[in-house]
Amino acid sequence: STSASASSAAGIASLRIVNRTPQKAATLAALFQGEGDVTALRYEDIPAGSVDILINGSSASLSGELPPVPAGILVEGACAYD
């Protein structure tokens, strides 16, 4: 039988996990090892024009703060969720 990873079954080409603490991002990305192209990045390492979907899972916005997401990373037609 053929098994597909959860990310490829969902049609996800790649998943980038970013955290204010790079080690936390790496730890989380390691949980998905073997599920496809999953890597940890620092905010400043997110390539311009490379993000289709951005999900903010931090509590920063609850106190009126924003994560340090670089300008220009979203592709045209991208979606963002806070």
Cα gap 53→14, rounded to integer Å: 11
Task: Please give the model's pTM, rounded to 2 decimal places.
Answer: 0.77
DSSP classification of residue 73: -
Q: Is the pLDDT of residue 48 over 70?
A: yes
Cα gap 47→41, rounded to integer Å: 10
Identify the pLDDT of residue 12: 75
**Among 82, 27, 75, 25, which Cα is nearest to 52's?**
75
Contact 52, 80 (CB under 8 A): no
Identify the pLDDT of residue 2: 34
pLDDT tens, residue by residue, 49-63: 999 999 988 888 889
Distances (CA, A) of 27 to 3, 30, 39: 25, 5, 10
pLDDT tens, residue by residue, 11-42: 678 899 999 899 999 999 999 888 889 999 99
